[in-house]
Chain A
Amino acid sequence: MDWIQLWQIASAPDNVPILIMLALVGFYTCYAFKQAFANDRLAAELEADPVMQKTHHRKRFPFQKGWAERVHVWPYLLKIEFLAAIIVTAILIVWSITLDAPLEEPANPSLTMNPSKAPWYFLGLQEMLVYFDPWIAGVVAPGIIVVGLMVIPYVDVNPLGNGYYTYKQRKFAIWTFLFGFLILWVLLVFIGTFIRGPGWQWFWPGTFWDHHRVVHETNRNLHEIFGISGQPAEGIFGAAVVGGYFALGMAAFHVLFKKFANNAYRAMNIVQLLIVNSLFVMMMGMPVKIIARLAFRIKYVWVTPWFNI
């Protein structure tokens, strides 16, 4: 174990925000789930008790006797906002006094930083560069993420769980979103910061970042495994593989979604179903390709003269 190196990485000023981010994301996820489970218990209670259903106003946090339902923004909300501003300012000042923003040597195009890393919040995309060509990792994937996020409200037809924490009433939505956010975004940021060392090689936490380490990875393309060579055979083979992945993936998703999320399935129209299905299968393509690369050393599954996937 090289603890000193681990400490150096963790305490690098620009990496401190990442540690804070990891802690906060963990904390708030738990905080949300605590409230979600409490609400789910209440929902189950009400669901089972037709009398209570009618009389109970179903507020998680009932008003005290004699309290007005609505309060004035001044002072009730503004007081909190003012307090929050003071606390945030105090934290920021202490943070800024104790930790200096990094400043390296002046920019020097002839002296490559190794590893040269994107800002931490983009490290997920940089990590995708290992598995995909830049046009996917740097352009298409972020584009799909942004569009995918924006369509969520239009494809999530579930009328439940609007304005309160719940898990039981929105299982599929919550699993899908958290998988994307926690695994495909936050975890990749973590890997990019703490595990990727010089040459963007994989260093387990605590191993020494050896700048001279040479790894002989022989990556192959999928068509080579099947003994196919030359165009257009490679291109056709790859198109079949990728097309097959989508065909099978979407068929499987369709069957499973219909079975396990039947409410949603019945409420959705064909366009909504297609969008959710294809976005989900695309999202799952990321971990599939990651595993193909890490476990089977496969570089490309589809090679054409114009692009490779």
Chain B
Amino acid sequence: MATEPTSTESKKDPKSNGNGDDQSLGRKIKEGIDLAKNDPREGQIWTSVIRHKLDDSPRNRSLAVLSNVFLHLHPAKINRDAVRYGFTWGMGGISFYLFIVLTLTGVFLMFYYHPTKGQAFRDILYLRHDVPYGNLLRNMHRWAAHAMIITVWLHMLRVFLTGSYKPPREFNWGVGVLLLVFTMLLSFTGYLLPDDQLGFWAVTVGTNMARATPFLGHEGPFGPQMGMTAFNDVRFALLGGSIVDSNALLRAYIWHCIGLPIVLSVFLIVHFWRIRKDGSISGPAPIKLEHDFKDWAPAKA
């Protein structure tokens, strides 16, 4: 561990440099060399960054998690069973990891992308053919988005099948449902951005449904009665126009790169916070039996 300071005098009085009034440069250099021999893990820089010792003790294992802002989402200790893959399938964590990957690759893509008609498509071609690793970048963003939808669905499936939405986790299930919606909306808004036939027609099909919104769409039930036209209904608000054109591209871009990621992140924070507050994940819990619950057991005839 820590090496003994070579200068024994310095130990006596930490404030004094141990050399009386010797202010010569030579003295300073010698002190510097002594300093360099010390273990850097005792130094001011190291201890200001990592605030716990590194030897493998239970205390330090806990501190490693608790004194790190990112890791302290976790408790210091968990049930041994809770790390069993078979229980959670890791799908919530993988969804979150894919979200991080999407944020990173997405920021890189933004360096090359202009949300304007004509230029947008050329930017994608540029990414595919000229930008170093641009094609890989775009592919990773695309496939991570699809993968995230799959993992979020699977996460929901496992939360349901383990009954993990039951008290006290009712609220977090609701937060999860919103996360599911935002995940799919994020993917959907991204679909338009290459400004190709695929995205254009997918978004056309999708937003055409909005004009049939009851009361708020100009072709929806009671829409005309509410004074809705193609130029003031909810579809118009989504597209910034009555057709999928440059305004729609800009709106999709802003929702995709700014609006929805922020909203999703906020709900993610709530989701993670709630997992901790609800007593970590629900299981694998001891199996309950019908007769544990007097009111629940079937009525005896």
A residues at B contact (CB < 8 Å): 14, 17, 20-21, 24-25, 28-29, 31-32, 35-36, 39, 42-43, 46-47, 53, 57-61, 63, 67-78, 80-81, 84-85, 88-89, 92-93, 95-97, 99-109, 111-113, 116-122, 125-126, 129, 133-135, 137-140, 146, 149-150, 152-154, 156, 158-166, 169-170, 173-174, 177, 181, 262-263, 266-267, 306-307
Contact = CB atoms under 8 A, between A and B. Distances in A.
B212 A57 contact: no
Closest 6 CB pairs of A and B: A138-B209, A163-B285, A163-B283, A153-B170, A107-B200, A96-B139
B290 to A, nearest CB: 7
B221 interface: yes
Contact of A70 (B79, B136, B198, B217): B79
Q: Which of B199, B217, B289 has the most CB of A within 10 A?
A: B289
Interface residues of B, number: 109
Nearest to A182: B157
Contacts of A25: 153-154, 157
Contacts of B291: 47
13 contacts: A42-B287, A68-B80, A71-B79, A72-B61, A104-B197, A106-B118, A107-B199, A108-B197, A116-B202, A119-B202, A139-B214, A149-B177, A160-B293
A158 to B, nearest CB: 7
Nearest to B58: A72
B166 A156 contact: yes
Contacts of B295: 266-267
A163 B284 contact: yes
A119 B188 contact: yes
B150 A39 contact: no
A24 B94 CA distance: 14
B194 interface: yes
A266 B154 CA distance: 32
Given A28-B154, A108-B197, 9 more contacts: A53-B289, A59-B284, A73-B74, A103-B124, A105-B196, A117-B205, A119-B187, A135-B212, A139-B210
B262 interface: no
B204 interface: yes
A140 B220 CA distance: 11
Contacts of A80: 83, 85, 90
Contact of B196 (A60, A93, A103, A138): A103
Contacts of B219: 134
Nearest to B283: A163
Given A32-B157, A153-B166, A134 B196 contact: no
Instruction: Name the prevailing secondary structure of the A interface residues.
Output: helix
Interface in B137-169: 138-144, 146-147, 149-150, 153-154, 157-158, 160-167, 169
B144 A164 contact: no
Contact of A181 (B157, B184, B244, B293): B157
Q: Which of B149, B150, B199, B211 has the most CB of A within 10 A?
A: B150
A139 B213 contact: yes
A281 B121 CA distance: 46
B60 to A, nearest CB: 9
B142 A164 contact: no
Nearest to B150: A21
